[in-house]
Amino acid sequence: MAILVFPVPTEPILWASSPQIAIQAEPPFFSPNHLKIRLDTPLTWLNQTREAHSIVADDCQSRSQCSFDSGVIRPDHQFVLTRLAPGSYPYHCGLHPFMRGVLTVHTPPPPSSDI
């Protein structure tokens, strides 16, 4: 029996605007697989494979209400997430649970008031 382990990077990639995560057929499967975005920044997952996938927040397994669940994303289709509260959101493909990623939403600091 083989166990596949795919590490999630410890340092997230920070995108300023219009971030996109590619769904791929090979590891790391979600590229980037750890992304940090600002509050109110839309995020798009694009399925670049020949198979259907889904994007499901890990909290969907333990709560009656989950943070996000894309449903099935067919090949060459996308899922857009428009708003999440600040926090860390581990997620996986509901059809292929070994495909994993982490999304971190943060509130940008207020603008400095230089006088």
Predicted pLDDT of residue 27: 87
pLDDT higher than threshold 90 for residue 71: yes
Q: Is 33 within a domain?
A: yes
Question: How many independent structural domains does the chain possess?
Answer: 1
Its pTM stands at 0.79
- How does residue 3 score in pLDDT terms, banded at 50, 70 and 90? very low
CATH code for the domain in which residue 77 is found: 2.60.40.420
Predicted pLDDT of residue 20: 85
Question: Is the bond leading into 28 cis (omega within 30 degrees of zero)?
Answer: yes
8-58 per-position pLDDT tens digit: 444 566 555 668 889 998 888 999 999 999 999 999 999 999 999 999 999
* 34 phi-psi bin (left φ>0, alpha ψ -120 to 50, beta other): beta
User: By residue range, what is the domain housing residue 102?
Assistant: 13-106
pLDDT higher than threshold 50 for residue 5: no
Output the DSSP codes for 6-17.
-PPPSSPEE-SS
Which tokens in the block code for residue 107? 């509130």
Q: Is 111 within a domain?
A: no
